[in-house]
Structure 1
Amino acid sequence: MRVGVIRALTTSDRRLLNSHGKLLQESFGFDVMSRCIPDQPSGVYNAESLRAAVPKVVELALEMAGDVDALIISCAADPGLAEVRSVVRIPVIGAGSAAAAAALTFGGRVGVLGLKDAVPGPISEALGDRMLLIDGPGNVETPEGFLMPTGIFDSLAAAHMLVDAGADVIVEASTGLTSIGMADVLRRRLGIPVIDPVMAAGSMLISAVAARELQPV
């Protein structure tokens, strides 16, 4: 399956651009094409940056749709998800809603680990009263902050605080955490399920394609 990955941040760093696609390729065997939206080097991190990203994601999705079998919007805020689904005829998965759906398959309270000031709407809306919050990593205000040593250490500390507060599962509410491979680190340290949004999107895509194939013609 050829999958288009839309990165909702702007980067000229090929390694960073392709990091999510590489994970999807290694985990699911997808043939991945990754592209990023323009003029948002800090990605999506508040309401204003989310609004700005939506038309860019839609435009990029329309450009990519003819060359791929499915699209993944690799951002926990799912910018443009509904809009893209309305204009293309291939499966489109948002990392945020996929992560929330995966977290809900586990019982108990879901600890949300993300940026300092906000929980992406697709995650907060889906989790409802199952959601457990603490103050986010203190120095991480944008996804690129997770690439800094302080962001990594702050995220580890916040994850431990979530477990101490009663989290039974942790959902990563920023794909910036995917870029640094944080889920595996947290699983080893905490001993509880940790949902990576990009991996959740890949799993959801496999399920969506299987469901389509089973539908009667």
Structure 2
Amino acid sequence: MASRRERLREQTTAEIKAAATAQLRDSGGAALSLRAVAVSIGMSPAGLYRYYPNRDALLTELITDGFAALAHEVARARDEAESDAFVAAALAYRGWALAHPNEFALLYGTPIPDYAAPESGPTSAASRQVGAAFVPPITAAWHRGTLKREAADPALDTFAAAVDLPPDAAAVAFTAWTAIHGLVVLEAFGHLAWLAADPGELAESRFHALSADLGIAP
């Protein structure tokens, strides 16, 4: 059981991150200020530095949490799907991005000036969880023999190792991932507004077509 000191630290850390997330939603990641976060929760800046020594440390944790939350939502939708788990995962990815636009921008938008994520650190591991959440339906299609044949690409060896798929299947998975992500980014950053007031029907149609074209659909 955690000690009282540990519980208090966990509660304070959660409060700091909640305040930072609120600031993020209002102003974006580039404007994140430790002093402003501290003031918003009634803490002195010096006190906050005992939890996060600098802005980058807090940003790293927020990014890690964001990737983890997105991966969780995608995996949950995939596991609860009644028909095409791949399409359910793609729709969940889109849904999270649109429901959390500033968090999505923090993960995939314009890099924050003067911030560099720790190399091979927690943000890298957490980002791989998002891609991994799409893998089970692709793996299942590969075992069924329905997955589209695509030549292995040596440039994707690192990706293949990350998603634990054979090189040819990894190439299909990468095609699928870039198609989903590209469509969601276009919508999330306002580049599909000219098509319709609500591009949701378009997204679902394209995800179903992608699943069928790549042989992922059961």
Tell which structure's C-alpha radius of gyration is larger. 2
Give the TM-score normalised by structure 2.
0.28
Q: Structure 1 or 2: larger helix share?
A: 2
Give the TM-score normalised by structure 1.
0.28
Q: Structure 1 or 2: larger strand share?
A: 1
